[in-house]
């Protein structure tokens, strides 16, 4: 007689709140399906819900919070506000968007003097009434212009690119502006956790990066005016074919060197992965996943999580999908 391996059966659960109304897992929760997504950079985080059609008290802009998990152990995965409602005979479709929508709506004209990137980000968050998570300082600018040609989130992402920082909102809807740090690692095993994998390895077209900045009037400091001199601000990191960027916000050789090193780090990301798993609400952006048990050796590695999606419905169950990246050899 074959021995049957003991298996622990878990039951997916959710806790949804829209305005003052709560939708528990047990009983008639009314949830037919949900899709949630959050990524580093753009687009902003979103939540799509399908509910049974009945009388609801919530309305546009009502706060929305969602927790997912198993057997009473739930993790918050979304915080935002209701954006659109579409009612049909048997169902109601709802779109909710994250708190960073305030930054997308923000268009201002501002001039900053002697401010770090982090200080500029904090000011834009204050203007947009968006809460901050962890905001690191990054490089300092003698002069930095924010104009209404781009929205607040686009300006913050550009600042993050210069500093080597990721920009994303947390599960609580707070904005993070920081360098990637591995604070939690989760193992995902083939045939145990993983339902599917898509892997792309991008060819490294560039081995180095060169930054041209806006020249100050001398090489002694960044606080002078660029039109008084012919001296160029330029820095190169690495060797070989160069990725070239002109950036008028860079006004000193010191900042040019920092940004060129940052660009060199960005171009070194050449492995991207999308892994679908059974529902994993505890894995978040900024975490690291470690793939194990794959027959393709190079797939068994650690990857930085840069995007999270969760799906739940009665026919599909509870699944998650993670976008990941990894630095590789040219």
CA distance 25 to 50: 14
Quickly list H helices, 136-198. Answer: 152-163
CA distance 299 to 326: 11
- Phi, psi angle pair for 149, to nearest 5°: -70, -20
CA distance 72 to 280: 14
Query: 121 by DSSP, 3-state: which?
Result: helix
For residue range 173-183, list pLDDT tens digits in order. Answer: 999 999 998 87
pTM of the predicted model over 0.85: yes
The residues, ordered by sequence, that sit 6+ positions from 298 with a Cβ below 8 Å of its Cβ are: none
Does 63 have pLDDT greater than 70? yes
* pLDDT computed for residue 3 by the predictor: 47
Tokens 């546009």, residue?
60
The residues, ordered by sequence, that sit 6+ positions from 306 with a Cβ below 8 Å of its Cβ are: 39, 40, 166, 285, 323, 324, 325
Q: How many helices (H) and strands (E) does the chain have?
A: 4, 21
Cis status of the peptide bond prior to 43, with omega within 30 of 0: yes
* pLDDT computed for residue 218 by the predictor: 44
* pLDDT computed for residue 209 by the predictor: 79
Does 315 have pLDDT greater than 90? no
Quickly list H helices, the chain. Answer: 101-104, 117-128, 152-163, 253-267
CA distance 92 to 222: 57
Does 127 have pLDDT greater than 70? yes
> Mean pLDDT score of the chain, rounded to an integer?
87
The least confident of 8-22, 66-80, 113-127, 136-150 is 8-22
Q: How confident is the model at residue 227 (pLDDT cuts 50, 70, 90)?
A: very low
- Phi, psi angle pair for 102, to nearest 5°: -60, -35
* pLDDT computed for residue 230 by the predictor: 46
Does 312 have pLDDT greater than 60? yes
* pLDDT computed for residue 269 by the predictor: 87
* pLDDT computed for residue 110 by the predictor: 96
Q: How confident is the model at residue 264 (pLDDT cuts 50, 70, 90)?
A: confident
Instruction: Please give the structure tokens belonging to residue 76.
Output: 């918050």
For residue range 72-118, list pLDDT tens digits in order. Answer: 899 999 999 999 999 898 899 999 999 999 999 999 999 999 999 99
Closest CA to 300 of 292, 288, 309, 311: 292
* pLDDT computed for residue 212 by the predictor: 83
**Residue positions counted in the chain:** 330
CA distance 232 to 96: 48
CA distance 187 to 330: 26
The least confident of 147-156, 203-212, 266-275 is 203-212
More confident of the two residues 329 and 148: 148
The pairing of strands 302-313 and 31-39 is: antiparallel
The least confident of 78-87, 168-177, 292-301 is 292-301
Closest CA to 12 of 94, 74, 66: 74
Quote the radius of gyration of the chain (alpha carbons, Å): 23
* pLDDT computed for residue 50 by the predictor: 94
Q: How confident is the model at residue 9 (pLDDT cuts 50, 70, 90)?
A: low
Query: Using CB atoms within 10 A of its CB, is residue 328 exposed (0-12), middle (13-18) or buried (19+)?
Result: middle
Q: How confident is the model at residue 229 (pLDDT cuts 50, 70, 90)?
A: very low
């Amino acid at each position: 007689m074959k021995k049957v391996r003991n298996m622990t059966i878990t039951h997916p659960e959710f806790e949804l709140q829209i305005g003052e109304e709560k939708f528990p897992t047990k009983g008639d929760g009314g949830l037919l399906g949900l899709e949630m997504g959050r990524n580093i950079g753009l687009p902003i985080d979103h939540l799509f819900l399908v509910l049974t059609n009945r009388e609801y008290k919530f309305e546009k802009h009502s706060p929305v919070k969602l927790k997912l998990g198993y057997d009473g152990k739930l993790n918050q995965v979304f915080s935002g506000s209701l954006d659109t409602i579409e009612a049909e005979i048997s169902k109601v479709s709802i779109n909710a968007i994250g708190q960073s929508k305030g930054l997308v709506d923000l268009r201002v004209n501002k001039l900053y003097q002697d401010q770090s990137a982090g200080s500029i980000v904090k000011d834009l968050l204050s203007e947009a009434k968006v809460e901050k998570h962890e905001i690191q300082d990054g490089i300092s600018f003698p002069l930095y212009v924010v104009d209404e040609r781009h929205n607040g989130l686009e300006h913050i992402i550009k600042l993050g690119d210069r500093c080597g920082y990721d920009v994303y909102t947390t599960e609580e809807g707070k904005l993070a502006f920081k360098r990637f740090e591995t604070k939690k690692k989760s193992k995902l095993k083939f045939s145990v956790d993983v339902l599917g994998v898509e892997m792309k390895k991008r060819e490294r077209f560039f081995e180095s990066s060169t930054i041209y900045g806006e020249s100050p009037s001398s090489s002694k400091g960044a606080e002078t005016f660029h039109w008084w001199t012919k001296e160029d601000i330029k820095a190169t990191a690495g060797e070989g074919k160069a990725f070239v960027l002109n950036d008028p916000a860079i006004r000193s050789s010191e900042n040019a060197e920092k940004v060129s090193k940052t660009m060199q780090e960005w171009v070194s990301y050449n492995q991207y992965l999308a892994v679908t798993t059974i529902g994993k609400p505890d894995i978040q952006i900024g975490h690291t996943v470690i793939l194990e048990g794959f027959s393709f050796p190079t797939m068994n590695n650690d990857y930085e999580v840069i995007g999270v999606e969760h799906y739940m419905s009665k026919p599909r169950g509870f699944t998650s999908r993670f976008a990941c990246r990894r630095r590789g050899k040219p």
